[in-house]
A and B are shown apart, each in its own frame.
Chain A
Amino acid sequence: MIGMISYLAFFSTMAAIFAIAVLGLNLHWGYTGLFNGGVVAFFGAGAYGTMILGGRADATVLGGFGLPFLVALAGGVVLAGMLAWIVGLLTVRLRHDYLAISTFGVAIAFESLTRNAEWLTGGARGLRGFPRPFEAAVGNNFVYGLLFLAFVLLVLVLVYIGLERLVRSPFGRALRAIREDETAARSLGKNPTRLRLTSFVIGSMIMGVAGGLYVSFYAFVSPQDLAPILTFQIWAMLIVGGAGNNRGAILGAFLIWAAWTASGFLLARHAPVAMQIYTGSIQYILIGSVIVGMLLWRPQGLLPERLETSAGPDRTRPAGTNTTATTNKGVT
């Protein structure tokens, strides 16, 4: 029983961490139309940043400063934001496919950096050892697992609420406008470059949060964690859940992570032994098929962007509008 609950807690912690990253991607793609093909770079910047600042001292690398958890996490997030800002300055003028290719390249470069900058990242063997918050105080592994899950869920909820407010704000409205038509937005006084850059940095920082939580959960990070497949997984989560819908993004994260773990489990259990070595590749094919199938049959995702009309429940009046304006007084 305890084993089951503890497995569920592990599963949910991972799913919630991915959900945070998917929310970041949703700000990029769902609300701004930015095709970020290098999610893993920003996730990785958050992960390595957190690990270097908060990890245990290690004579072979520069990092391991053992800073308090929240400080380390914030540092990782800032690092992800800085990386996004630099990448963004160079690339936000690019659209769709070009942006996707260049961000994909950034992710490859970042992975290569972590593999080679041994003095900082420990190279291929990665960084190990992270004093997790309150772990010593709690003692019990099972209870700690639940506590950590609660913390991750809290962060997820905070990110969700923050993003919901952001996309409903004038800033979010402007993002949706430039997503739809940049020229029109420009001639109406919006600055698409600045808006896109801001969105890119905020979304990447959210991915950095996910990366920071990920390493504090595992107390370990290596270039293996930054493989391109993670970018595709996170994309699959967003596409399945529904781009432009933050609840969809979260739902997609849990579903795809469930499918991923289940397929790994089933392959390990039931696939012929000769096939076992291909488990990873088969899973890659599965995730690719899910993305393609979803794009073919339900491109809007399970929970599509809410495009409610006045018939819908959410008929909000803009502030300062009084109903008298609707009574037709003057005509043109």
Chain B
Amino acid sequence: MTDAVLSVEGLTAGYVRDLPILRDVNLTLRRDTLCAIIGPNGAGKSTLIKAIAGLVPVSAGRVMLDGKPITGIRPDQMASLGLAYVPQTDNIFRSLKISENLALVLRRVPDRATRLDELYTLFPPLAEKRGDRAGSLSGGQRQMLAVAMALASRPRVMLMDEPSAGLSPKIQREVLDLARGLTEKGVSILLVEQNVKQALRVADHCYILAEGRNQIDGPAESILSDPAVGEIYLGGRRVGAA
């Protein structure tokens, strides 16, 4: 486990005091891999991602980035620690131009001109539309911009909350392939996904969450054949089920 870049240990967290949504969640993301979190609606997937990003108060447990605790650090300071977060919705600024969206996040990047060129090279459609309002982008292009913004500060770890939601199957595949491709560029990815098959196609490791608790986890290829998966989705055999 020495190559864990992000680890979540015994995390209990929720939006309201004394009303935990997540209970004792454990998770490890290994360096340069893609780890998927799947689970039914309301399982607490987004809450887990937000708790890691510092957006939801944590009442117990801790989050470690490269072996250093980052629990409870203000979200606006996470970026400088190498952790980027792509929210499930509203992840770009529609009233700003594409170039402005990128300039916004490149503010603290020392070589921002070079980095901007790199991002435009990585996402040619964004370069083409750089002078347009981000609100005029298509759904897939918006996700692209959101990912580009998260990548701007060269994070080591990227948290993505359902990057493929609301996209056509073809674009869904493209977005997930894009995420997969990033692991070869030194970015470790923790990703929430609704589409189990798609998630398992690109993931190395997979966690199943339900009712705010770890259910099962394992290498992506073995999860798909696990009969327990279907049962967890259908409501039986859950840890902590009422």
Q: Which chain B residues border A324 with CB–CB below 8 Å?
A: 117
Q: Which chain A residues border B113 with CB–CB below 8 Å?
A: 319-321
In whole Å, how far is B176's beta carbon from the nearest beta carbon of chain A?
11
Instruction: Give the number of residues in A that approach B within 8 Å (Cβ atoms).
Output: 38
A187 touches B55 (CB 8 A): yes
- Segment touching B, from A51-59, A94-102, A309-317: A309-317
Within A149-180, the residues touching B (CB, 8 Å) are 170, 173-174, 176-177, 179-180
A184 touches B117 (CB 8 A): no
Interface centre among B87, B102, B120, B177 (most CB of A within 10 A): B120
A38 to B96, CA, bound (A): 29
B104 touches A177 (CB 8 A): yes
Q: Which chain B residues border A309 with CB–CB below 8 Å?
A: 131-133, 136
Asked whether any CB of chain A lies closer than 8 Å to the CB of B129, the reply is yes
In whole Å, how far is A330's beta carbon from the nearest beta carbon of chain B?
5
Q: Which chain B residues border A186 with CB–CB below 8 Å?
A: 55, 74-76
Work out how many contacts link A and B, with CB atoms closer than 8 A: 123
Within A293-332, the residues touching B (CB, 8 Å) are 305, 307, 309-310, 315-322, 324-326, 328-332
Asked whether any CB of chain B lies closer than 8 Å to the CB of A60, the reply is no
A325 touches B177 (CB 8 A): no
In whole Å, how far is A19's beta carbon from the nearest beta carbon of chain B?
24
Asked whether any CB of chain A lies closer than 8 Å to the CB of B122, the reply is yes
Asked whether any CB of chain A lies closer than 8 Å to the CB of B128, the reply is yes
Other-chain contact of B90, A181, A189, A318, A330 (Cβ < 8 Å): A181
Q: Which chain A residues border B133 with CB–CB below 8 Å?
A: 307, 309
Cβ contacts A182-212/B at 8 Å (1 or 0 each): 0111111111100000000000000000000
Other-chain contact of A328, B55, B91, B124 (Cβ < 8 Å): B124
A184 touches B75 (CB 8 A): no
B122 touches A320 (CB 8 A): no
Q: Which chain A residues border B131 with CB–CB below 8 Å?
A: 309-310, 315-317
In whole Å, how far is A178's beta carbon from the nearest beta carbon of chain B?
9
Asked whether any CB of chain A lies closer than 8 Å to the CB of B209, the reply is no
Cβ contacts B98-124/A at 8 Å (1 or 0 each): 011011110110001100110011111
B128 touches A170 (CB 8 A): no
A294 to B195, CA, bound (A): 46
Q: Which chain A residues border B122 with CB–CB below 8 Å?
A: 330, 332
Q: Which chain A residues border B99 with CB–CB below 8 Å?
A: 316-318, 321
Q: Which chain A residue has the least Cβ–Cβ distance from B87? A: A184
A180 touches B95 (CB 8 A): yes
A307 touches B117 (CB 8 A): no
In whole Å, how far is A332's beta carbon from the nearest beta carbon of chain B?
5
Q: Which chain B residue has the least Cβ–Cβ distance from A326? A: B127
Cβ contacts B164-187/A at 8 Å (1 or 0 each): 000000000010011001000000
Q: Which chain A residues border B181 with CB–CB below 8 Å?
A: 332
What are 26 residue pairs bridging A and B, where the CB atoms are less than 8 Å apart in the complex?
A173-B103, A174-B104, A177-B104, A180-B95, A185-B93, A185-B104, A186-B74, A186-B75, A186-B76, A187-B84, A187-B85, A189-B105, A191-B76, A305-B95, A307-B95, A309-B132, A310-B132, A315-B131, A318-B100, A318-B102, A318-B103, A318-B116, A321-B99, A321-B117, A325-B120, A326-B127
